[in-house]
Amino acid sequence: MTMKFHYLSGSPFSWKIWLALEHGGFAYEPVRLQVDAGDLRSPEFLALNPKGKLPVLVDGALVLSESDAIAEYLADLRAPSGAALWPADIIQRAHGRRFAAAATNYVYPQVRRIMEQTLFLKAGAADLEAIGMARAQLSIDLRLLAEATQEAFATGSTPTIADFTLYPFIALLGRIDAQKPGHFAATVVPERLTTWAKRIEDLPWFERTIPPHWRVP
C-alpha cells in the first residue's frame, strides 16, 4: 500500500520528510493541505492529528505525526531499492542526530523570528532590531554547523536526515530575500553551507520536493 504524505507547502518540517521520502526511494502519495482553506481544522484531518499540525504520514494502519518520529520511522523502514537515511556507523549516526537537533533547536527559532518580521508580517514596519539579533545568532550557529559538516554532507559522502533537517531552513532564508529584499537574511549562510545546499539541489530527485507555491508559473 502506498504511503500518504500530508504536508504543508513551504513548511520546513514537511520538506524534511519529503526529502527523506525521495532519497529513501519510498512509494508515496503527496497530499497537500492549506491553512487558509481550513484544512488543518477539518474533522478528517483532526482525526489524523488532533494537534492540527503537519506533516502526517499514513502507512497502512499507522498514522504518524511529528517530523522527527516520521524521519526515524522511514530510516528504520528503508525501501528495498532506496538509500539509507542514516549512516551505518553508530558514531556517524550520533553525529548526524546531533547535527539535526542543532538545526531544529538553534537555527529554526532564528529563521522563524526573521520570517515573522518579513514573510508573516501583515501590517506595520518590520522590527529591524529583532531581525538583526536573529541574523547575528544565526551567523554563529550556522558557522558551527558548517564546521561540523563532514566531506560533501553532514555525515559523509551521502546525504542523510541531518542534511534534510537543515536544508529547508537555509532555503527559507533565500526565500525571504527573494520575497522581502533588503533584510539580507541569506548573507549569514557560510560559503561552505552554500556549496553544501547546492549539492542537495543537484540531487536528481530534488526538484520534485520544491514547495508547490514556490514554483514560478
pLDDT of residue 78: 82
In three-state secondary structure terms, 32 is: strand
In tens, the pLDDT along 64-112 reads: 999 999 999 999 998 777 899 999 999 999 999 999 999 999 999 999 9
Looking at every residue in the chain, the average pLDDT score rounds to: 95
Q: Between 78 and 44, name the one with better pLDDT.
A: 44
Q: Give the mean model confidence (pLDDT) for residues 133-142.
A: 97
**76 torsion bin: left (phi>0), alpha (psi -120 to 50), beta (else):** alpha
Out of 5-19, 34-48, 68-82, 195-209, pick the least confident: 68-82
Sheet arrangement for strand 62-65? 28-33, 3-8, 56-59, 62-65
In tens, the pLDDT along 161-191 reads: 999 999 999 999 999 999 999 989 999 999 9
Q: Give the mean model confidence (pLDDT) for residues 30-53.
A: 97
Tell me what percent of the residues of the chain surpass a pLDDT of 90: 90
pLDDT of residue 122: 85
> Rounded to an integer, what distance in angstroms lies between the CA atom of residue 208 and that of residue 217?
15
Pairing status of strand 3-8 against strand 56-59: antiparallel
Q: What is the pTM of this model?
A: 0.96
> Rounded to an integer, what distance in angstroms lies between the CA atom of residue 210 and that of residue 120?
20
Out of 80-84, 155-159, 187-191, 201-205, pick the least confident: 80-84
pLDDT of residue 217: 63
pLDDT of residue 90: 97
pLDDT of residue 32: 97
